[in-house]
């Protein structure tokens, strides 16, 4: 994939919505393109890994405890929590169709966050949405 095409793909990811294209061009040079066939597991619940993915092409299913909780389309991200808090994966994600993903590892993503505050903002929004969607084990306002 051309670097300029990778920028277009990253442009569609909610996580990088506020990042200017020239900065995405730099991120595009450090992401690792990874492809999965339909039915292949992208991440497995309980595994200890320190990277995240941006889904560029294809669709994927997210299962928690064997129960499907959501589906991901192109532009979605998965495994962000592991970048912030190195803990076992919270869900299993399986490719539903031949999929292309960008992989970003922990240290690289930290640098991106330092250089691009808008990524941090997007991440906070994403985490807030996750909290809202979580059953109320603890009080969350709003």
Partner 1 sequence: VTRLRVQPAVAYIISQALTLGLELAFLVIPGNAVFLTVYGAGNLPFVYLAVAGLGAVASFGITELQSRLGLFQLAIGSTLIVAVLTAVTWVLLAIAGAQLASAGALILFALQIQLGFVFIGAQVGRAFDLQELKRVFSWIVAAFVIGFMLGGYFGARLSDAAGTAVHLLALSAGLALLIALQMAGASRHIPVPAQEPPHPRDTETAKPPSLRQSLAVPLIGAVFVYQILSAMVTQLVEYLLYDRAAARYPVEEDLARFLGQYTAVLNLVDLIVLVAFGGLLMSRYGLRYGLSVNPILVTGLLLAAVVVAAVAGPAHVAFFVIMAVARITDITTTDAAGRTSINATFKALPTRQRLSAQVGVEAAGVPIALGLTAVTILAVNALPGTGITNVAVVTLVLCLVWCWMTWVVYRHYRSAVVTMARRRLLDGAQIDLAEPTTRGTLLDLLRSDDPQDVKISLSLLDADPEVDAAVRAAAQSPSLDVQRAVARRLRSVDPSLAFRVAGNLMRSDSSGHAADGLRLLGSLPPQENGGEIEAFLTHADLAVRSAAAGALLRSGRGSSGLADLIDGAERSADPEERVFAARAIAEAGRTPSLDVLEALLADADARVRGEGDAAVAALNDGQRIALLDRLQGRRVALRALRACRSNASPEFCAKLAERLSDPREEGREMVRLLGAAGWRATEATGATLDRLIDSEAARIATAAKWLDAVATGDPALAPATQRLRRALGQEAAQAGRHMIDLLGLVYDRQLMARVGRVLDGTTAGDAGISIESLDLVLAPHHRATVRRALTSAFRKDQAERSGTARAARSLSAVLGALAQDCRWAAHPDWLLACVLDLMRVAGVKEATDPRVVALGPISAELLNLRQAPAPASGDQG
CA distance 128 to 53: 19
Q: 44: which 2 tokens? A: 């497995």
Q: Candidates 14, 17, 25, 74: give the one binding partner 1 (CB under 8 A).
A: 25
Smallest distance, partner 1 to C-beta of residue 43, A: 8
CA distance 25 to 38: 29
Three-state DSSP at 100 gives strand
Residues contacting 122, CB < 8 A, separation 6+: 14, 15, 16, 17, 18
Smallest distance, partner 1 to C-beta of residue 67, A: 23
CA distance 70 to 97: 15
Q: Which is nearer to partner 1, 15 or 101 (CB)?
A: 101
Q: Which is nearer to partner 1, 133 or 141 (CB)?
A: 141
Binding of partner 1 by 2 (CB under 8 A): yes
CA distance 91 to 94: 10
State which of positions 58-117 bind partner 1 (CB under 8 A).
100, 103, 105-108, 110-111, 114-115
Give the interface with partner 1 as residue ranges (CB under 8 A): 1-8, 20-22, 25-26, 29, 32-37, 40, 42, 49, 51, 100, 103, 105-108, 110-111, 114-115, 141
């Amino acid at each position: 994939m051309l670097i300029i095409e990778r920028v277009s793909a990253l442009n569609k990811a909610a996580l990088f919505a506020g990042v200017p294209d020239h900065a995405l061009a730099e991120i595009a040079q450090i992401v690792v393109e990874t492809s999965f066939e339909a039915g292949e597991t992208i991440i497995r619940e309980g595994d200890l890994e320190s990277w995240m993915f941006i889904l560029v092409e294809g669709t994927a299913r997210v299962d928690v405890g064997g129960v499907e909780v959501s589906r991901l389309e192109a532009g979605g991200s998965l495994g962000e929590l592991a970048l912030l808090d190195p803990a076992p994966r919270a869900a299993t994600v399986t490719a539903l169709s031949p999929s292309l993903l960008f992989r970003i590892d922990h240290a690289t993503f930290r640098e991106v966050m330092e250089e691009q505050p808008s990524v941090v903002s997007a991440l906070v929004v994403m985490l807030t949405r996750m909290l809202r969607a979580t059953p109320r084990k603890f009080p969350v306002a709003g």
